[in-house]
Amino acid sequence: MRHSPNDQHFPRAHLWLLIPFAISVFGFYFTYWSRFNEVPFRQHAHGLSATAWYVLLILQPWLYHNKPISYHKKAGFIALFFAGAVVFSALQVIPFQIVSTDAHMSSVLRYGLSFYDLGALAGFSFSVLMAMLNSRETPKHARWMISTAFWALQPAFVRLVFFTLLIANGGNPPVEFLNVIYICLAITAFPLLIMIFLDFRKEKKVYAAYACALLGTSIFTLLIQVFGTAQWWIDWCNNVLGKGM
């Protein structure tokens, strides 16, 4: 059984989701795709599982509107497996960030971004869990699934903007990495604000999925510098995350 043509739950979501997917691919081009044969297995596990998750995220709304619902459900089970792989592999990658030798990664950024990454990973996991718990309520389920893209969008967008500035200015970007992070936060928050506004205008309600993604990514980003200079957090990273290297 296919859904009725009158079912208007995000009929073009698969097209809109191509935008964050493209940003993610190009954003990680210089740190992953261009070095595909050089990076260790842990990065392949994370990069390929995240790519597979994104592909399924894009495919799911198309299946919902164009194929029997059984296709959508089966793809959902596969997506859940890849979501788990994304989380597990990220936990293998994050510890190595604190020993990064990137010239543009100060100590503050290494520890601060580790905090952001762990927070975003928790937000992503929570969104996936809520999507599964609300699988029978399409409006909520769809929004929780869409919100997962925004937890991963910020790191990719920051890399895309920073490396573009780096190349365009001969290796001397006119904006510091931390300021690029703040700028990208403002840009990526904009579509979330629009979706929240459209929901409120149409249904007079704010869905928790978008609100959580907006508040979570904003708070975690604004606390990067705070945690990057907090000695207790630095010690925790070295003592706990450092053991995973």
For 8-31, what is each residue's pLDDT tens digit?
668 889 999 999 999 999 999 988
188-236 per-position pLDDT tens digit? 999 999 999 999 999 999 999 999 999 999 999 999 999 999 999 999 9
Residues 54-75: tens digit of each pLDDT? 999 999 999 998 889 899 999 9
pTM: predicted TM-score of the whole model, two decimal places: 0.91
Q: What is the 3-state secondary structure (H, E, C) of the chain?
A: CCCCCCCCCCCCHHHHCHHHHHHHHHHCCCCCHHHCCCCCHHHHHHHHHHHHHHHHHHHHHHHHHHCCHHHHHHHHHHHHHHHHHHHHHHHHHHHHHHHCCCCCCCHHHHHHHHHHHHHHHHHHHHHHHHHHHCCCCHHHHHHHHHHHHHHHHHHHHHHHHHHHHHHHCCCCCCCCHHHHHHHHHHHHHHHHHHHHHHHHHHHCCCCHHHHHHHHHHHHHHHCHHHHHCCHHHHHHHHHCHHHHC
